[in-house]
Structure 1
Amino acid sequence: MGRWSRLVADEFVTWLGCRDGLRWVDVGSGTGALTGAVAARCRPRQVVGVDPSAGFVGTARADAPASACFVVGDGMSLPVRRAGCDVAVSGLVLNFLPVPGAAVAEAARIVRPGGPVAAYVWDYAEGMEFLGRFWAAACSVDPAAAELDERRRFPVCDPERLRSMWTDAGLVDVDVVPLEVVTAFTGFADLWEPFLAGQGPAPGYVAALTPSARDRLRDTLRATVPTRPDGAIELTARAWAVRGRTVDAAM
């Protein structure tokens, strides 16, 4: 997913359109894809990535731009004072937080009055074409696979749920838009081989299959994926992006 997350991070930052010189916090920064996009496109005064994983923070620090720093911290209790930054963002994280609505409220706490709080999530329900095709193929050969399908497991995937979370956190002028990127594969092997990595719901499912079941799944998926004459495959991935702003003290 990493190559697609970098593409959608650029689309998200462009959509936000924030001015230069701001102080940013990236909640759940992972290995730094969104932090890097902010640093490259927004000329921030500073961008701080916060993530609970020391391993991710270490990886992000190794390739951090000059304006960025990374700290280990919890998105439910950010190590930032009230109104201590200008912008709070989060990329592809909300579905993995225990209480996502509380995390949005915590992000709002650290943003100055009138400042933006924004995030984006993959549209697992309908917009991740290559994952949708994978799970459809998996369910056709193994109905029990439906329990692992991200389309059922991750509820924060639709615009109305996101809008409600932002308004419930006291944010105003809430806007939700789709962001789409092309997921291009040079051939079927380029699509299939990442499913053999063993990390994440789909690769974990593949790793647990017997060799013969894995072959049946591979062949079923291959038969359903649209392939160009040169063997290339182009699908789409959609994320939902949401932003709102904290209430201005003057209001």
Structure 2
Amino acid sequence: MGYLFVCLCFVVGYNINEVMFNWTRGNESVIGLDTLKLAQYTVGNHYTSVTEAIYETGLYPQLVLHFDLKRSILSFILETYVPSCLLVVLSWVSFWISQSSVPARICIGMTTVLTMTTLMMGTRNSLPNSNCFIKAIDVYLGICFSFIFGALIEYAVVHFCTLTYTESSLSGSEPRLEAPPEKARHWCFTVLAVLRKVLHPAVNCCHIENPHYIDNYSRVIFPLSFVMVNLLYWTYYLYF
């Protein structure tokens, strides 16, 4: 992405009837831009011109330098894109940690979420203000944050299913819903009985035989989904 900048040079004390400005050698009057090194930008083409500034007191000559600044994508890849990808990969480490290691998995999840939040805020503050509220880099950081937060939610689901599975194993049978009263004397009991009959098949469908399978599926689903989203992201912003 390139930006066009204009540098003006004029003297307000003298109008065009008193002094005239001119570039002695045209574009060659400006030297040093070709060798100028910036951290996040590269200087592109430049050219000079002479115009007149219009004020209430008259016309004033001014020298104008036009030059292009192109943003270096390499710096953003090294400072933003690569760290965000590494944070997403780091959040997947919890899938290989034992489900009983609650502090370890919670620590990884919270650390990656907080680090990603700090990276998003720092990147947002370092970018110049523009008319576009949501930039391409904001979309990518939002995607990475969603995957990291999803890994944290995944462990919450695994932990809940593990507790349910353990309780059902100790009781010797799968958890069952209490049977509705045979003789309901109030309409509330009737409504509850109907809801139990309707929700009972849904509960059985969502029941997981072994909670360890969730981590096994996540080890494949999360990386594949992240790769697919990256392909869509870079294809859209580079070619459309």
TM-score, normalised on structure 2?
0.25
Whichever structure has more strand as a proportion of its residues is 1
TM-score, normalised on structure 1?
0.24
Whichever structure has more helix as a proportion of its residues is 2
Which structure: larger Rg?
Answer: 2
Larger relative contact order (C-alpha < 8 A, sep ≥ 6)?
Answer: 1
